[in-house]
Amino acid sequence: MQERAVYLKAEVLKALAQPTRLKILELLRHGERCICEIVPAINGEQSNISRHISTMQKSHLITTRKDGVKVMVKVKGPEIFEILDKVGLLLKRELMEQRKVLAQI
């Protein structure tokens, strides 16, 4: 694999590896939202949320647009949710295996 491709993949994964960003993405799962809705929904601060949104924009995960005074945010493509869902499946499988082990004790 090309070095540049590996670097770009790592950048996307780094952008995902932060709880606040995951919360933002989950809020965007059902469509575009205003930053003014995101901030209270995740009990965050405007400046902090804006920094996280900027980080995800740089990694091409989300896009923003102005709607009057509002800044609207949306996920660039549904593939990001496929990644998040796969991670959820990995965690569920791991928990099921742990439960089986615990049941044998």
Write the CATH number of the domain with boundaries 3-76: 1.10.10.10
Give the global pTM: 0.86
Taking the C-alpha atoms of residue 87 and residue 69, their distance in angstroms, rounded to an integer, is 36
% of the chain residues with pLDDT over 90: 90
Q: What per-residue string of b and e applies to 43-67 under the rule 16 or more CB within 10 Å gives b?
A: ebeeeebbebbebbeebebbebeee
Task: Dump pLDDT digits (tens) for 62-91.
Answer: 999 999 999 999 999 999 999 999 999 999
Length of the chain, in residues: 105
What pLDDT sits at residue 84?
A: 95
Place of tokens 């989300």: 62
